């Protein structure tokens, strides 16, 4: 599992690649950060982000944003009264219908 702030520290090679190539990879890097790639594709991305600072930053950026949204917009549970109300309404339908 990726750690949002740990990737760049492990990077040894400064990036020498052109920005156009990095731009083309942005969506793929996002899919990597979202855990939506298969293992072979993940491995290719891992090699890439170890060699390219811009790509590494992009992945960190996505992970950071995901963490923030998850932390601040997490579960705001329903009031107990709503649970009761919905159960009563559904129970009413169940007893009315054949």
Residue 89 makes CB contacts below 8 A (sequence gap 6+) with none
- By CB under 8 A, residue 10 contacts other proteins: no
Provide the 8-state DSSP code for 37. S
CB contact set of 34 (below 8 Å; sequence gap of 6+): 62, 66
The site for other proteins, by CB under 8 A, has a size of: 39
Which residues 37-56 are close enough to bind other proteins by CB under 8 A?
none
Binding site for other proteins (CB under 8 A): 5, 23, 26-27, 30-31, 34, 36, 57, 60-62, 64-66, 68-79, 82-83, 85-87, 89-91, 93-94, 97-98
């Amino acid at each position: 599992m990726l750690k949002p702030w740990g990737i760049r520290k492990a990077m040894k090679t400064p990036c020498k690649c052109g920005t156009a190539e990095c731009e083309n990879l942005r969506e793929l890097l996002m899919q990597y950060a979202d855990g939506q790639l298969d293992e072979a594709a993940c491995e290719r991305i891992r090699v890439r982000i170890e060699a390219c600072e811009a790509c590494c930053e992009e992945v960190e950026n996505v992970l950071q944003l995901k963490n923030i949204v998850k932390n601040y917009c997490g579960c705001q549970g329903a009031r107990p009264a709503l649970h009761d109300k919905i159960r009563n309404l559904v129970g009413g339908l169940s007893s009315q219908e054949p």
